[in-house]
Chains A and B, each alone.
Chain A
Amino acid sequence: MDLRPYLDELERFADGQLSEAEQDAFEQRLAQDEELSAAYAAYEQFTADLRWVAGHETLRLRLRNLDKRLDERQTALTNLKTRTQAARMRWSWLVAGLVLALGVAAWFLFRPQPLDAEQAWTHYYVPDPGLSETEAQRTSNPLLVQAMRQYRDGHYSAALHSLRRIPASTLGDDTLLYYTGVMLLRQNEAGAARSYLTRATQQPASVLANKARYHLAMAQLRTGEWLQARATLQSIAANTQNPYWVEAQAALQAPELFSRD
């Protein structure tokens, strides 16, 4: 049934837009006019369906708008969290960088200073203490006693002079060669010391030969003969009978001594 011819009237009636008299008259017609009554029933069904549609659509739109708001809120929260995390990360990196920089600076300031060649040689060289007074007296050689006394007192030049005055017949060759080399080395004459010490190492069955090898190695280091020095020290370090084997090992492990290899 087409409601359009009645729609205006039905709408005004349903929406309460009629005056009291008009309403009474309409209700009377509604009771008598079947066409109008059918139109009214159809109108009621149409508006009831419309109410259902309107409710359905209202809820659908409300939920859709709410969903949009919740999505926006979630996005904002996610962005905030991301920004916070990024800021926290930046701070962490900054702090880590700062700690690292401080660590590097502290290491740089307080690191063990590498020794130069001169300091390294002084540090690692273990000089011969010389004969003690008692040991020297036991030789009954007054010049040797004097030389050792001067050597112990650090008067190397005078000690060397006294040593050279000892007749070769009163003292073994190995002793003379060894102490001459040692004293020359102490007097910073490594080049001259080297030849005496080399000969001392070649003395057969001398107890001083092993000790002479160590001082020879140190003299070689002093004169820049790195390869020979290393080889000599390695031979000493390999021989646990040598009184200087521990010192030789320490010298071999000191990079400063061989930095110019």
Chain B
Amino acid sequence: MPQPLAATLTHLRVGNQTFLVNFYQEHRDTFAAWARQQHQLDPAAAHELLRSVLVEFYDQVADGRLTKLPADVPAHIYDMAAQQLKATSAALPVAEASRRSRLLGQFGQLSADCQQVLMFFYFRGYNFKKLAGKMGFANATVGRLQKASCLRRLYDLHQRVE
């Protein structure tokens, strides 16, 4: 069901990413044409750029850097893309940005299953029973132990750097 535009930010803040997923689906080809015309990007690079811009848009909403939905969302996204190509974007405070970017790198070093478990629990907000069901674990306890183990692994990586 389409979200009313006014509620978009609220939905994004609570982790409902449908707006951005739909945006990507609807604008992918138009954006690729624009990127080819304006920045001589091939379709694959243009698609990657749009995905990266949408993730950045989402991050800005989640961080609280973006508190008001732009009047013209597509124009705002295209503007962000142009800025990203010029490598200028509204950044988080340095300490926070570097902490999160480091954690993002460490998260990427985890196994795919661990990443999935942590995404289900910390982003989707699944309880242990649902987590176990989604991951194919025997029961909620296994789910809890797996999640605890993955969190420790991530924390170990985190501590190793610090």
The answer on A and B forming one complex is yes
A interface SS class: helix
Residue B69 at the chain A interface, CB threshold 8 Å: no
Q: Which residues 46-71 of A sit at the B interface, judged by CB distance below 8 A?
A: 46-47, 49-60, 62-64, 66-67, 70
CB-defined contacts of A55 to chain B, threshold 8 Å = 15, 17, 58-59, 62, 123
Q: Which residues 132-163 of A sit at the B interface, judged by CB distance below 8 A?
A: none
- How many of chain B's residues touch chain A, expressed as a range? 35 or more
Residue A7 at the chain B interface, CB threshold 8 Å: yes
Count of residues in A whose CB is under 8 Å from the partner chain: 28
Tally inter-chain residue pairs, CB-CB below 8 A: 88
Q: Are B104 and A53 in contact (CB under 8 A)?
A: yes
Q: How far is the CA of A11 from the CA of B128 in the complex (A)?
A: 13
- Other-chain contact of A4, B17, B25, B121, B155 (Cβ < 8 Å): B155
Mark A residues whose CB is within 8 Å of B: 2-4, 7-8, 11, 15, 17, 46-47, 49-60, 62-64, 66-67, 70
B interface SS class: helix
Q: Are A70 and B51 in contact (CB under 8 A)?
A: no
Q: Are A67 and B47 in contact (CB under 8 A)?
A: yes
Q: Are A59 and B155 in contact (CB under 8 A)?
A: no
CB-defined contacts of A58 to chain B, threshold 8 Å = 17, 119, 123-124
Residue B9 at the chain A interface, CB threshold 8 Å: no
CB-defined contacts of A67 to chain B, threshold 8 Å = 24, 28, 47, 51
- Other-chain contact of B55, A8, A47, A49, A63 (Cβ < 8 Å): A63
A42 CB, nearest partner CB in chain B, Å: 10
Residue B103 at the chain A interface, CB threshold 8 Å: yes
CB-defined contacts of A46 to chain B, threshold 8 Å = 103, 155, 158
